[in-house]
A and B are shown apart, each in its own frame.
Chain A
Amino acid sequence: MSIKRSCGNNAIGIVTAALLSALCAAMAWGADARALLKESENRHRTKTQQYAGNLTVVNKDGKVRKKGWKSFRQGYAGDARNLIRFTDPPEVKGVGFLSISRSAGQNPDQWLYLPSMKRERRIATQDRDASFVGTDFNYEDMEEFDHEKYKVALQGEQTVEGYACYVIAATPRESGGQSVYEKKILYLRKDILYLLREDLYQKGDRQPSKLFTLSDLQNVDGHWAAKKWEMTNINKESKTTVVLKEIVFDKPQPAGRFTLQNLNREGGD
């Protein structure tokens, strides 16, 4: 009886110890994930960034659409302000997109400017899952990733494109504003803590519906930069590629560049 009780007590003790250690491990992983993301942000934070992008959208039938844009960013992650101005083809030249991050709990303000209408239109929260001008990116994808808006947990390690990566699950916090996604799996290159891939799960997805990969990493002015971005929509079997050129970091941006007035200005960038 006593032996039985003793065995029983032991068993309970073992289970309890296992649960506690798992919990502690999970807490430790969680803490690690946040630390890793903070460290990544610290390492790669730049004051500004600008580049010229070549955008290619290939749909499932193989039809190809190409566009060119110039992108300007000021700030980073949670305090980023972004302006994209289309340059090519001539029919879409001047179309602008402005995204301005807001304080935690609020989605960024986003506007699209159409020169033919000579006016901007605000992108509503309800429209964050809409395709960004026919690409495989949606308006939420056009925001800078801010880990503070997510609950994060380190899930392990995995090799991506020959690089060892940390695998981090990021789940949108309720207080972080509305998100199109239920979960994001981030693959952070271990050696330089640079994001190489995101698996994007929309609500109800068991498998990721989109994959975002960053490749062709180069060191520009002491900062790592992926010169090729690829967003694959698995359901639609389409792919959008952005090839970045003329990347410049920390170049001072004009004071009024990230304003609605500038967005609406004919030829303004």
Chain B
Amino acid sequence: MRFLLRTLSLSYVRRHKAKTLLTLLGVVVGVATFSSIESAKGTLVKGIRSTVDRVAGKAQLQITMEGGVPEEVQEQVRSLPGIRATSPVIEQIVSTEKGELGSLMVIGIDLLGDREMRDYGFEGDDADLDDPLLFLAQPDSAIFTRQFAEKADLKIGGGIALKIPKGMKRVTTRGLLTPKGFSEAFGGNLMVMDVYAAQDLFGRGRRFDRLDVRLTEETSIAQGTATLEKALGPAYRVETPGKRGEQIEKIVANFIAGFNISSGFALAIGIFLIFNVFNVAVNRRRRDIGTLRALGATPRQVQLLFLSEALVIGIVGGLLGTLVGTTVSQAFLQIMGQTTETMYGVTSSGVVRLPPVIVLESMLLGVGTSLIGAWGPALTASRIPPTEAFAKGAFQARPPGRSVVRITAGVVALGSTILMALRPPFGGNSFIFTELLLGGVGIVLLVGPLSRLLLICLVPLVTRFAPVAGRLSGDALLGNARRTSGTIMAMALSLTFVLGLGGYMGSTKKALDRWMLDALTCDLFVRASANFNRPDFLFPGGLRDELLQLPGVKSVESFRATRPLYQGHQIQVTSIEISQLLERMKYDFTQGDKGLMLRGLTQEGKCVVSDNFSRRYKLGVGQQVELTAPGGKVRFTIAAVVRDYGSDQGTVLMDRTQFLRYWQDDRVDIYDVSVLPGANVAQVRDLIRAKLAGRYPALVSTRQEFIAEITKAIDAFYALTRVTLFLALLVAFLGIVTALLISVAERTREIGILKALGAFPSQLARSIILEALLLALVGLVLALPSGNLFAAFMEGPLAELFTGWIMPHFYPWEILVQLLIALPLISAFAAWVPARQAGRLKITESIEYE
């Protein structure tokens, strides 16, 4: 086998370097996409978990509460039996004046008593706290990890400005920590400050983000939890750091899940690219195979030869792909981290370290993809009888057999996919996997016959406009059905992915745009936090009256959002002055109406739920939602169900009076300000800014600015998905180039004869460009229905499974137009090298070819 590889395979590679390189590139791109997404994703999730674990230190339990844990709870908890120590914590992610340093996690802890909780000291080699009293006495005191200080060029006494809700705030380095244990959290991008200074800096009032608890040796976690839950009541969440990490991980699960689909598609497209290359290689080397068989090689040896070649390409491609993936994964992680921070308020920082498992998976995928792609062609090669192998051209011209069975099987598979999507027999990941597998099989089976049918229809049409080039390209495409269907398969899959995912993104964006136009109808939004999901600062409730007194202000509504757990999921509970809200906002009701909502919320103490909440928890008008308020469980009857895109886990909306009554917390996230008719919005904004200056952080945005900010956040959410779309197109582009190069090489003799008969190089070049255009066009035509189906699947069953939303379908006309413009250009570009190659072929050499 080694001899065969060295002589036959290596000589083939030497003669077809470009094709081999392109095949390799296909594997590299597929594996790189997979490994970079997987390693970035893994690092993000691991980072989130590890940050929770490391920051928790020796804490066995953590107490949290929506809106923060009041200070006095610490004293209450300290006096309970079984409690060894408690320590308050405030956590905030900020950025610095030096953007290149990345996000910085600020941890506010009580340095007086935190040693019970976290392993560090401020003496010796581990850490250096210049003066503990000075540290406590000065609220700008900060301790950085040595790693971060080195990056930021910070020395003891040196300062750095942080971007915080109140604006830029300069902090002074008064200590350094060696990055180990606790200080390794958040990839070492960590700043420690006094918890009470953090309270002030981040507007937490007299509340902590959580209380870390350490139990006495004789107290078990279960006993400790029971004691705390009994003493604190249902409004407090008592959980182990591990459980809390899981919970945070759950929040970003939907975002992460989307990338599994991208990885899967990148690999599937890669498989078809390799399949195509090997398929053509088998055809090209039929004479070699015939010779081998005539010399006594067994069919198994022939099959093994091709599989060995695939194995080598898989190993090399896997290795290179893993390396490339590692280099781009850091950028992916940064994009992912920024998105999860903006959208969910959680993130992690650090350097992507490729875990051995992902290296192994990537290598296996590279090898597996190559072997799967080469398996069919290798089997075909092994079955070629020597007599047929020497009969030139007979095989290439033979269309693939048993079309009826294939088409029937394809229709059944695709039909089952659609039926299952309409009525899912089961849920979860197995449903998604089954759908994608069945859909993929259906498309694979149908693309070959359908593409042939389309080409048969298209070629005569094209020939009318370009008689010579059209006929030549048509013959080339129809003359080698296997190569053509393989290329179109890769193309169609790529375009299905692009149209489907792009269509889904477009539909989501349009739905959100419409909702924002209906929902965000006031003139000014006064916020304290730039982050939409993590309140960095909350306004006092009394500020509303001050804003109402400003000239030009018509009304002010106090919007407050909390994110409690409901049946294990983090939902959103929002409150606002409903009667005023309904005067300006248009709700899209799926159950109930405006009258029922107004009466229910303002007079009957009911709530409204979002359509995704209603679907996820199977609750509708008249049924009750049980929420946990500080005073205990409260049941709210549902007055109406409205379309709302505030939270992908569901939203419950209530009147502010109800929130104040049960939550006893008057703080406000956003003040929605409407101005009087004729009043100048810009002037009112200036008045608000002047009113709040020096007192509170205030981001005052106009309606347009606020909508633009949310749109920007949504765009950021899909930024990485767009990158995967581009990669999918790149793989498809490689497919076309490879197919055309093979086509030219295969027809060398034919091209030589054509030239001898008087064909111009330009005519030959045109035929190859036309071939590329036809491949792209057929791929696109086939991808139109499959892309639409894929988009519908994403917008419907998949979105419902993860979020409860069913997105209205909008056809991605923009993407289609973009493809219609870009594809001919890309195809023509892909054909450029093969066309030049064909034009340069010398007649004598070409005729002597083979």
A: residues with CB less than 8 A from B are: 59, 65, 67, 86, 91-92, 95, 112, 114-117, 119, 121-127, 130-131, 133-134, 236
Does B300 count as interface, using CB distance less than 8 angstroms?
Answer: no
CB pair A126–B113 under 8 Å, yes or no, is yes
Q: Which bracket fits the contact residues of B?
A: 20 to 34
Contact check: which of B115, B133, B139, B197 meets A130 at CB < 8 Å?
Answer: B115
The chain B residue with its CB closest to the CB of A123 is B112
CB pair A114–B137 under 8 Å, yes or no, is yes
- Interface-centre pick from B78, B112, B132, B139 (highest chain A CB count, 10 A): B112
Chain A residues with CB under 8 A of B85: 124, 126
**Bound form: Cα–Cα A127–B115 in Å:** 9
CB pair A95–B139 under 8 Å, yes or no, is no
CB pair A126–B197 under 8 Å, yes or no, is no
Chain A residues with CB under 8 A of B197: 116-117
Chain B residues with CB under 8 A of A92: 133-134, 137
The smallest C-beta distance from B644 to any residue of chain A, in angstroms, reads: 41
Chain A residues with CB under 8 A of B138: 91, 116
Task: Provide 15 A-B residue pairs closer than 8 Å at the C-beta atoms, listed in order of the A residue.
Answer: A65-B131, A67-B133, A86-B133, A116-B137, A117-B200, A119-B196, A124-B113, A126-B78, A126-B86, A126-B116, A127-B112, A130-B113, A134-B129, A134-B132, A236-B123
Our count of residue pairs bridging A and B at CB distance below 8 angstroms stands at: 61
Contact check: which of A91, A115, A127 meets B134 at CB < 8 Å?
Answer: A91
Chain A residues with CB under 8 A of B133: 67, 86, 92, 95, 133-134
The smallest C-beta distance from A251 to any residue of chain B, in angstroms, reads: 27
The chain A residue with its CB closest to the CB of B117 is A126
CB pair A59–B123 under 8 Å, yes or no, is yes
CB pair A130–B112 under 8 Å, yes or no, is yes
**Bound form: Cα–Cα A58–B112 in Å:** 20
- Interface-centre pick from B75, B116, B136, B197 (highest chain A CB count, 10 A): B136
**Bound form: Cα–Cα A95–B141 in Å:** 15
Chain A residues with CB under 8 A of B137: 86, 91-92, 95, 114-116
The chain B residue with its CB closest to the CB of A130 is B112
The chain A residue with its CB closest to the CB of B200 is A117
The smallest C-beta distance from B471 to any residue of chain A, in angstroms, reads: 86
Does B170 count as interface, using CB distance less than 8 angstroms?
Answer: no
Known: A122-B75, A126-B86, A134-B129. 8 other contacts (CB 8 A): A65-B131, A86-B137, A91-B137, A95-B136, A116-B139, A124-B85, A130-B112, A134-B133
CB pair A112–B86 under 8 Å, yes or no, is no
Q: Which B residues, 121 to 135, have Cβ-Cβ distances below 8 Å to chain A? A: 123, 129, 131-134
**Bound form: Cα–Cα A115–B134 in Å:** 12
Chain A residues with CB under 8 A of B131: 65, 134
**Bound form: Cα–Cα A166–B78 in Å:** 40
**Bound form: Cα–Cα A9–B328 in Å:** 92
Q: Which B residues, 73 to 132, have Cβ-Cβ distances below 8 Å to chain A? A: 75, 78, 84-86, 110, 112-113, 115-116, 123, 129, 131-132
Q: Which B residues, 41 to 98, have Cβ-Cβ distances below 8 Å to chain A? A: 75, 78, 84-86
CB pair B113–A127 under 8 Å, yes or no, is yes
CB pair B196–A126 under 8 Å, yes or no, is no
The smallest C-beta distance from B115 to any residue of chain A, in angstroms, reads: 7
Chain A residues with CB under 8 A of B75: 122
Chain B residues with CB under 8 A of A122: 75
The chain B residue with its CB closest to the CB of A67 is B133
**Bound form: Cα–Cα A92–B200 in Å:** 19
The chain B residue with its CB closest to the CB of A121 is B196
The smallest C-beta distance from A188 to any residue of chain B, in angstroms, reads: 32
**Bound form: Cα–Cα A236–B125 in Å:** 12
**Bound form: Cα–Cα A122–B136 in Å:** 14
Chain B residues with CB under 8 A of A127: 112-113, 116
- Shortest 7 CB-CB distances between A and B: which pairs? A134-B132, A127-B113, A133-B133, A126-B85, A92-B137, A116-B139, A127-B112
**Bound form: Cα–Cα A67–B134 in Å:** 10
- Interface-centre pick from B78, B84, B131, B196 (highest chain A CB count, 10 A): B131
Chain A residues with CB under 8 A of B139: 116-117
**Bound form: Cα–Cα A119–B194 in Å:** 13
Chain B residues with CB under 8 A of A115: 137
